[in-house]
């Protein structure tokens, strides 16, 4: 489990005293700001993970394409050599 998940669980499990304004009403703005901070944190983490996965996929694709480009000329020269060897046997 990630530490952020554990921290989120601990925040939900804790029993807080309700934060109040000087007039005794509940400070909803405090809770809205805190929720917005938590949402931004989660979004940042999810975007970072998504970009990491996309990056790994692109890296694998680049390696595959690079390998294919390196191997392709060798395959073509092998095909030419085998086709020229076959044509010389026919004569």
Give residues with Cβ within 8 angstroms of 8, minimum separation 6.
Answer: 38
The Cα 84–Cα 8 span in angstroms is 69
The Cα 74–Cα 82 span in angstroms is 12
Domain ranges of the chain: 3-85
Give one word for 21, left, alpha or beta, with left for phi > 0 and alpha for psi -120 to 50: beta
The Cα 43–Cα 36 span in angstroms is 10
* Cβ-contact 27, 19 below 8 angstroms: yes
Q: Is the pLDDT of residue 12 over 70?
A: no
Per-residue pLDDT tens over the stretch 20-37: 999 999 999 999 999 999
- Which residue would you say has higher pLDDT here, 1 or 67? 67
Q: Is the pLDDT of residue 50 over 80?
A: yes
């Amino acid at each position: 489990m990630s530490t952020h998940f554990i921290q989120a669980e601990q925040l939900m499990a804790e029993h807080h005293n309700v934060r109040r304004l000087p007039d005794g009403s509940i400070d909803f703005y405090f809770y809205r700001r805190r929720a917005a901070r938590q949402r931004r944190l989660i979004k940042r983490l999810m975007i970072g993970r998504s970009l990491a996965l996309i990056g790994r996929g692109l890296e694998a694709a680049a390696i595959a394409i690079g390998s294919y480009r390196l191997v392709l000329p060798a395959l073509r020269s092998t095909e030419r050599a085998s086709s020229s060897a076959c044509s010389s046997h026919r004569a």
